[in-house]
Amino acid sequence: MTEPLRLSKRMSELGLCSRREADEWIERGWVRVDGVVVSQLGSKVLPNQRITIERQAAQQQARRVTVLLNKPMGYVSGQAEDGYQPAVTLVNAGTRWKEDKTELTFHPSQLRSLVPAGRLDIDSVGLLVLTQDGRIAKQLIGEDSSIEKEYLVRVRYTKPGKLPDADLQLLNHGLSLDGKKLLPAKVRWQNEDQLRFILREGKKRQIRRMCEAVGLKVLGLKRVRIGKVALGDLPPGQWRYLRDDERF
């Protein structure tokens, strides 16, 4: 016998929205199960039941924006901490990239619920995604996300000589953090003092800790790509909207 699931969880699994959005839509009477409006939070459904959303929910979702920011050093990804400003404070009409070709007009209401989909350390720079869309957040940072993230990492070897090939192989696969094996990565030399990392997970300070494990000190770290979306020529401290034709 198939177990019933919470309606909000099932909607998230189907990629309709985030669980938070689902709860909001259920309360507003914007969700139907097998054609019947369900407005009770905590309601459960069977996996084979048909879930549809009202036009108002689809319209609300369509107005939600996703922003690509080239985060400079000295800004934290999320909430303000230790006197440092969050990256979202860089999103305003004056810092929008002049090459942004989307037809959207900036409005302060777009800052409401604009949250980072993934972290980028205060001393790291590059591509940071901020979104109002729960579907994109789930795609990038959900438990089952396998979206690639690409970094350029400037390093210095702290031991005599050069990094052994065996240790480069360890960076690709074989290291553990916090007692758990890391997923396979793609790590290769970009030039004599810079590595290119491609990861499919994002543990806290993962690249710095991986490098430390093989005797490398990270001097600079820049994220240049998330999935199919690249940082490109976006200048530091500026942002643009995710285009309709772009998919992570």
So which residues are the catalytic ones? 121
Contact predicate 121/73, CB 8 Å: no
Residue 216: which region, alpha, beta or left (left: phi > 0; alpha: psi -120 to 50)? beta
Rounded CA separation 3/128 (Å): 38
Count the neighbouring beta carbons within 10 Å of the beta carbon of residue 89: 11
For residue 116, list its beta bridge partners: 130
**HEC sequence for 62-97:** HCCCEEEEEECCCCECCCCECCECEHHHHCCHHHEC
Using CA atoms, how far residue 144 sits from 109, 116, 164, 200, 227, in Å, is 31, 18, 33, 10, 14
Q: Where are the beta strands (DSSP E) in 58-193?
A: 66-71, 115-116, 125-131, 149-157, 176-177, 180-181, 186-191
Q: Give the position of tokens 């177990």.
A: 3
